[in-house]
Amino acid sequence: MTYDTILAIALFSLVGSVSPGPSNFMLLASGTNFGFRRTVPQILGITIGLSSVLLAVGFGLGALLTAYPPLALALKVAGGAYLLYLAWRIAMSRSVSNDDASAARPLTFLESAAFQWVNPKAWVAALTAMAAYASAENPFASVMLITLVVAVVNLPSVAVWAGFGVALRRFLSDPARLKWFNIVMALLLVATLWPLLK
pTM for this entry: 0.82
Confidence grade of residue 102 (pLDDT, cut at 50, 70, 90)? low
In the chain, % helix, strand, coil (3-state, to 5) comes to 80, 0, 20
How far apart, in whole angstroms, are the C-alpha atoms of residue 84 and residue 21?
A: 14
Please answer whether residues 133 and 5 qualify as being in contact, where contact means their C-beta atoms are separated by less than 8 angstroms: yes
Report CA-CA distances (Å) from 147 to 8, 36, 127.
Answer: 13, 25, 12
Please answer whether residues 91 and 183 qualify as being in contact, where contact means their C-beta atoms are separated by less than 8 angstroms: yes
Give the list of residues 6+ apart from residue 138 with CB closer than 8 angstroms, or none. Answer: none
How far apart, in whole angstroms, are the C-alpha atoms of residue 116 and residue 123?
A: 8
Write down the pLDDT at residue 150.
97
Please answer whether residues 64 and 71 qualify as being in contact, where contact means their C-beta atoms are separated by less than 8 angstroms: yes
Asked whether residue 113 carries a pLDDT value surpassing 90, the answer given is yes
Angle 182-183-188 from CA coordinates, rounded to 5°: 95
18 φ, ψ to 5°?
-95, -15
For the segment 6-39, what is each residue's pLDDT rounded down to a tens digit?
Answer: 999 999 999 989 988 889 989 999 999 899 999 9
Write down the pLDDT at residue 195.
62
